[in-house]
Structure 1
């Protein structure tokens, strides 16, 4: 076999950017091989884009990526293929749209690197892909890996041959795709001294141009690559929102908001009731709230720490009180998922410019391989629920976020081009609807930065039971860029860091939110509008009451009352202050005609608003 190098110069190439930073210009290269008499011998083509990706390990042993010279804070989730490995390009494209709707820039593919169509969609829509080999199976059957759940023989000579051919194939398939920005040649563990140079040679032979990292963890590394700069120290189950901001001392703070968390989450992702009814029997549904420690098939295997919902349920029972019904339980679960996910992504976003920067985080997991009760940002039926919208708030392009530990408010800017004067309106409301604090802060923002702009220590110093904090960010023309409401108890949850396990940090004393079970019923009206310019439908919610309307959710249904999916909402699970109006919109991405929007809330009676 002979290599032939062909050179072609592209003058002033257009640069490919991730979706939130710019356009995604793509080029096509065609190669034709002809016979001596002019006939066609072979033909090949590839689509590619121009971009530059680098990575470095900083002084804290944390990896920082750059794209086209710009520091990139990675925000993303871990992809799970279908349980039978069925690939559907149309479904994948919808999943990419959901991912971008969340404010993410990355999906991590671990092992199941899928079909070429997956990368074509990511290239076209501007989503970055972190790819690499898989954990917990033959790919990591090294003598020093003692964590394999199923005993697996270490590699023999034939395994190295297969792995070498697999690496060569993956490298050649992926090399032209601008969406691919790193390859992890290990996941939980780094490859051994024979596999590492083999992998590197195969990548080099394919003219690999983006970073190669030894693994997704800091356990160790091969000398050829050096440290990975990624941490994989949990959590994978529920932790309270102050977990992410409790960053000192970092040596004992595990997955908190510093460094690069390659896979971690607060374990949430309970589907909405309409989805649960599609895969659970009535007795299964009853178990969710009547038997909070029961082992459940739709969690994980019976050998897993995640076979039951005990950790999250303990938080719900202790913080909110025992549920009175399935509906009450699911409302409290969605509140918990929303709160936990929002805090995780706000924490990492807020600490982007901290002394020890939060350089990236991958949520475990983006999707589920089958109908599951946890680890979903949207469920198997593509229904987004509380965890999705908490994540979406926490990952907004421009945003203001509350630090549960220091009680500071952070101004966050993930863009490359948005800057100038900003105002932040801050208001604290008690459970009766009385305003106890009102302030407006004038500030300014710069691209790709975060900073603390004001402390609320004094404003939140004398909480009787629970208050609501509303933060509204506006530009110099008064346009609202971000609106965010927190429910804050008298004290935060107390974490027992010294008792942490690999999958969570226990709570020794829980925050008390039971006062929110006694909120006066709120009356919320809804008005429907249409926007033909972007093919969205708007819903204006108005709280007609003198007290707050807490955690108001909206669900789009057809004429039979069935969910209309997939779709995107501009916002959902909204808390309205007294007499406040908030307009949200949805875009129907399905072929089903919507008929109505179902509305409910923690202290808002269920109602239905017809769209016609």
Structure 2
């Protein structure tokens, strides 16, 4: 059993300096196997009857892999709640790995952990290596010297006993009110465990520091590592490094001699200057050149330890507080407006690299530039992907549980920190900083979320980051409540909203509206389309979804959450668009609402980038879901982009023209660093009947990284009920840079700002869009031509005399199932009478024969168009 993977360590590791990752585990509950860890970690113990699982697996993820459960069944309706026996997860679970190895003389062997949720006892060959007091915290990484335990043996066994996670007691990775909790609360070995072999010198993680200042050509790069002498006598050694990539030309020797006393640990460094260094930029601003560094330590010419190749980028990130006490970031000297979303890992903490890569590409496709990890630091590969594609990352600790159990936090019931908790926090910060330090994608680390850490914890965090040569901003929290003196105010706000608000909210001047830096805010939208909904909703769930606004929905938040039903959202939908006639009608109106909501948020923040009180950043709540959910996403769990996605994509285009819901201004927005010159804006206002109310063409000059009001929409006073507004931005050659259509009513959504809660602002009067329900039918033709095995072009033509409102295109395979992930140049579009519009779509190469489904508000039943 497990023969192939165990051959990795079945031979003597002569000269095998470096790391070997535990490739798999045997998994069992202590309720069945007992908790005699000395016996269980004996090489003679037989665990072949246990579950066989992968290296990175929480308990529940391991049981899924072993076939005890499957997510298709669990995610359907309320099955996670009703079909799972939670009792087994109240006991500790055991992870066991057995192997054969002979340790050569004069070498040392270490066991390295990278965080075990939430705490664990570790035994090796019948001996205790660590207990739950030390091996504590989801991010508590440790290195244990097991040389004496392994010496003289050939057969070995490692056992880890993971204790059940309690979010009020433990430093874990929780989900707050995002979704139901996993049955095991994420308990288990969710990151790699590895063995490291060295000779007399041990080398810690490689740190890479550069002195780049914006505009510089030559950059000094320093490689640093903490080196430990493992012997009882002094040892002289040499640290040697190498930097490669992009025709790298360095001056200076990447070599440093040193001498360490018995058992001494000291930071050793070596530097060189890269001539004509290539600079790393966020995706929208430039290229992402990555250099490769490697390092080793040697004694008398023999390598004692080494660090595998690490990729790094050269860039400069800072932040400051402006006159309004709002944080503004600078990347390579350029003011950087953060536009992003809050990331959620998988419910069972399973890492799927291909899925994350698709999610990250979605972020860039929407025109966003940042993801925020609120206590969801994920696997190391996330940062590698972010580096490679130019996606910025705001990491940090989470809210609402043990992480923020301070005396002054009145919102949490977790147990206050004790001395051991501060120790766990220290190990956690140092481990995560070591993992993240080299990555150019790191924008900042937030050492608090809803609340700031107390002074003792802040000092621990800051000292750890300083010791590990952190070169990105440190921010005390995501809110404005308070701050530790050594870090100062956060400059971030989080006053909501988290539930639905109308589009004009974002152009206001209170709470979460477009000014300052909103660290988590959104309209609570993200309704999946039917192809996804049928995978996790039953017939009764569908009925509840559109007919019972105040009924708790299991696929919203937890049952104790303010977001367990859709009554705020549905109140807006029913009052603005009319009571839905059936499920199909409800889902269409939901997509219209979601599109409006996300477009206006990102347009509001983009438009006000250079306002008197500038909008310096917005993190949409949320980017994605941990499981199939009915809200809080820009694309659903199955990677299907819908109304929220395309609203966000429209609102964040790199060059864009947007309508301001307060005052009817037209904003010219430029997120680039290099696009400038003359631009043309065509405005046309049209009634539902097709009658043109006004047209106007405005010329304006655009400047990089700026936004400004350039005109007002004429004819708004002529609207009798509802009108469509089309804005088209073109460059000097006539190429269309942005095409944007709004639906405007004579009535206005009236916000009751003084009655706002922490999660929403009520509306007392509603914009009336019900006339959209009785629009005259349009006639839209579609042709699809395959450009390659991964792309097609779709041409739409409205042959009617009236607008075709909110045309939805969906790519399906030969079985009629949604094709995901998929990238559209635009979607959910509204066509003018006689207008022709061409769109492009790209999709996975293994999609086979694809077709396009077309539906909309006033074009009749759904049509399916095959490729020609």
The TM-score range, normalised by the shorter chain, is over 0.9
**Is the aligned partner of 1:514 residue 2:770?**
yes
Matches within 5 A, 1:280-429: 280-429=537-686
Aligned equivalent of 1:91, options 355, 359, 369? 355
Which residue number corresponds to residue 736 of structure 2? 480
Displacement, 1:324?
0.3
Within the candidate set 762, 770, 781, 1:525 is matched to 781
Q: Is the 8 A contact 1:527 1:539 kept in 2?
A: yes
Higher relative contact order (CA 8 A, sep 6+): 1
Structure 1 residues 39 and 507: CA distance shift in structure 2, 3 A: closer
Task: Report the secondary structure of 1:477's partner residue.
Answer: coil
Task: Say whether the 8 Å CA contact 1:423–1:475 is kept in structure 2.
Answer: yes
- Give the corresponding residue for 1:193: 455
Alignment-derived partner of residue 112 in structure 1: 376
Contact 2:790–2:845 under 8 Å retained in 1: no
CA distance in 1, matches of 2:749, 2:305: 69
State the match for 1:584 in structure 2.
Answer: 839
> What is the CA distance between 1:441 and its match in structure 2?
0.7
Counterpart selection for 2:710 from 453, 474, 491 = 453
Structure 2 match to 1:436 = 693
Q: Tell me if the contact between 1:77 and 1:362 (Cα under 8 Å) persists in the aligned partners.
A: yes
Question: Which residue of structure 2 lines up, in the alignment, with residue 554 of structure 1?
Answer: 809
1:535 shift after superposition: 5.1
CA separation in 2, counterparts of 1:415 and 1:3? Answer: 41
The change in CA–CA distance for 1:521 and 1:156 in structure 2 (over 3 A counts) is same
- What are the Cα deviations for residues 140-171 of structure 1, in whole angstroms up to 9, with x where unaligned? 011111112xx211000000000001001111
Alignment-derived partner of residue 129 in structure 2: none
Q: Is residue 2:438 matched to residue 1:176?
A: yes
1:124 lines up with 2:380 in the alignment: no
2:306 and 2:607 map into 1 onto residues whose CA distance is 53
State the alpha-carbon separation in 1 of the partners of residues 546 and 605 from structure 2: 32
Q: Which residue of 1 aligns with 2:283?
A: 19
The aligned residue for residue 504 of structure 1 is 760
Aligned-pair CA distance for 1:13: 1.0
CA distance in 2 between counterparts of 1:421 and 1:594 reads 43
Please list the CA deviations of residues 505-554 of structure 1 after superposition, one character each: whole Å capped at 9, or x if unmatched. 0000011001101101111001123445x953110100010001000000
Asked whether 1:206 is paired with 2:462, we answer no
Deviations 1:422-469 (A, max 9, x none): 10000011011111111111111010000111112x510131110000
CA-CA distance at 1:37 after TM superposition: 5.2
- Residue 227 of structure 1: aligned partner: 489
For the 8 Å contact 1:111–1:131, the answer to whether it is kept is yes
Partner residue, 2:64: none
Q: What secondary structure, in the 3-state scheme, does the structure 1 residue paired with 2:387 have? A: helix
Shift in Å at residue 18 of structure 1? 0.3
Q: Distance in 2 between matches of 1:126 and 1:413?
A: 19
Contact 1:350 1:412 in 2 (8 A): yes
Match of 1:53 in 2: 317
Q: CA deviation at 1:353?
A: 0.5
Query: How many pairs align?
Result: 603
**CA offsets 1:328-358 (integer angstroms, 9 cap, x no match):** 0000000000001100000000000100000
Mapped to 1, the partners of 2:685 and 2:348 lie a distance apart of 50
**3-state SS of the aligned residue for 1:197?**
helix
1:603 aligns with 2:858: yes
In structure 2, list runs of 5 or more residues that go unmatched: 1-264
In structure 2, the residue matched to 1:250 is: none
Deviations 1:276-299 (A, max 9, x none): 000000111111112122111001
Q: Distance in 2 between matches of 1:210 and 1:416?
A: 22
Q: Counterparts of 2:341 and 2:711 in 1: how far apart (Å)?
A: 31
Tell me by how many angstroms 1:137 deviates: 1.1
Residue 213 to residue 39, structure 1, CA distance change in 2 (3 Å): closer
TM-score, length basis structure 2? 0.69
CA shift at 1:419, angstroms?
0.5
Partner of 2:514: 257
2:238 corresponds in structure 1 to none
- How far apart are the structure 2 equivalents of 1:592 and 1:63? 44
Match of 1:471 in 2: 727
- Deviations for 1:450-490, whole angstroms, at most 9, x for unmatched residues? 0111112x510131110000000000010000000000010
SS of equivalent residue, structure 2 residue 716: coil
Given the superposition, is the C-alpha separation of residues 594 and 507 from structure 1 closer, same or farther in structure 2, using an over 3 Å criterion? farther
| Alignment of structure 1 residues 140-179 onto 2, 5 Å | 140-148=404-412, 151-179=413-441
Determine the structure 1 residue equivalent to 2:800: 545
Question: Match for residue 296 of structure 2?
Answer: 32
CA contact (8 A) 1:558 1:595 kept: yes
- Give, in whole Å, the separation in 2 of the partners of 1:255 and 1:297: 28
Task: Judge conservation of contact 2:693–2:718 (CA < 8 Å) in 1.
Answer: no
Larger radius of gyration: 2
TM-score, length-normalised on structure 1? 0.97
* Native 8 Å contact 1:567 1:590 kept in 2: no
CA distance in 1, matches of 2:307, 2:831: 60
1-structure distance, mates of 2:374, 2:546: 34
The structural deviation recorded for 1:39 is 4.5
Output the CA distance in 2 between the equivalents of 1:4 and 1:135. 37
